[in-house]
């Protein structure tokens, strides 16, 4: 703080980002404690320190009480500063569904394997980059839609493997997921919760575009 002051820079405040998708860890509590300490020390060196930016990192859906309690500390803090946040995933994670089409179907050891017109290199890069997993997910699929645009009738599901379209051996979206039993080639799968860290990080690997 002293070195910054000697450089003639006046700090307006402090910012942290706890890492995306924090589900009730103690990260926010620790970050707020450290940030308040920085504000206190900064003011000793005549920095303004009037702003606390708590960044993003909130999960999609409900916030955990641990996170809420940690942030409540900032509300009527006697240190007196303005608090702002930069939520990303929390706002958009559940705001989009991904529609992906079934390109091929085969049976391996009696288990259905579907090939989709999506991949780990496209919208499902969230599996690799964002730690998302569809393994054993029973409710990830919102519905399936047939080629005429109608929702498929059967909601009976069957454990299946989903492959991406790139022909790369590692391009397996999930080895265990329940999909509608009557799913067939040219139907669409409607995947929920695909609004954050999906389309934005897609590539054109193998000259293929995202859906
Ligand atoms: C500077 C900054 N703020 C906020 C966010 C949003 O983070 P999250 O989606 O974890 O809320 C990001 C995400 O990359 C970021 O880089």
Which protein residues touch ligand 1 with a CB less than 6 Å away? Answer: 17, 20, 55-58, 86-90, 196
User: Is 209 contained in some domain?
Assistant: no
* Range of the structural domain that residue 151 is part of: 94-204
What CA–CA distance (Å, rounded) separates 10 from 47? 5
The separation between the first and the last C-alpha atoms of the chain, rounded to the nearest angstrom, is: 49
- 85/63 same-domain check: yes
Instruction: Output the pLDDT for position 106.
Output: 96
Are the C-beta atoms of 119 and 171 separated by less than 8 Å? yes
**pLDDT tens digits, one per residue of 1-19:** 999 999 999 999 999 999 9
Reported as half-sphere exposure (CB side, CA atoms, 13 A), residue 186 has a value of 5
- 188/104 same-domain check: yes
Q: Compute the distance from residue 29 Cα to the ligand 1 centre, in Å.
A: 18
* Whether residue 23 has pLDDT greater than 90: no
User: What does pTM read for this prediction?
Assistant: 0.83
What CA–CA distance (Å, rounded) separates 141 from 98? 10
We report the CATH number of the domain holding residue 62 as: 3.20.20.10
- 109/180 same-domain check: yes
Question: Which residues participate in catalysis according to the annotation?
Answer: 167
Nearest to 102 by CA among 117, 89, 87: 117
- 34/104 same-domain check: no
Probe ligand 1: pick from 60, 84, 86, max atoms within 8 Å of CB? 86
**pLDDT tens digits, one per residue of 185-200:** 999 999 989 999 998 8
- Could you tell me which residues come within 8 angstroms of residue 59 by beta carbon, excluding any fewer than 6 positions away? 21, 22, 23, 89, 90, 93
Q: Compute the distance from residue 201 Cα to the ligand 1 centre, in Å.
A: 14
């Amino acid at each position: 703080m002293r070195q910054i002051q000697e450089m003639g820079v006046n700090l307006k405040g402090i910012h942290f980002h706890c890492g995306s998708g924090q589900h009730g860890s103690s990260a926010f509590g620790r970050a707020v404690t450290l940030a308040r300490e920085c504000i206190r020390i900064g003011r000793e060196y005549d920095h303004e320190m009037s702003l606390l930016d708590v960044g993003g990192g909130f999960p999609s859906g409900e916030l955990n009480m641990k996170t809420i309690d940690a942030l409540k500390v900032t509300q009527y803090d006697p240190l007196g500063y303005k608090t702002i946040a930069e939520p990303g995933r929390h706002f958009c994670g559940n705001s989009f569904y991904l529609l992906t089409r079934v390109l091929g179907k085969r049976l391996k050891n009696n288990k259905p394997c579907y090939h989709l017109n999506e991949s780990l290199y496209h919208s499902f890069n969230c599996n690799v980059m964002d730690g998302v997993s569809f393994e054993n997910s029973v409710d990830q699929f919102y519905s399936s839609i047939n080629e005429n645009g109608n929702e498929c009738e059967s909601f009976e599901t069957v454990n299946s493997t989903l492959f991406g379209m790139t022909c790369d051996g590692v391009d397996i979206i999930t080895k265990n997921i329940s999909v509608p039993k009557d799913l067939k080639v040219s139907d669409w799968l409607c995947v929920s919760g695909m609004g954050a860290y999906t389309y934005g990080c897609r590539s054109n690997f193998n000259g293929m575009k995202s859906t």
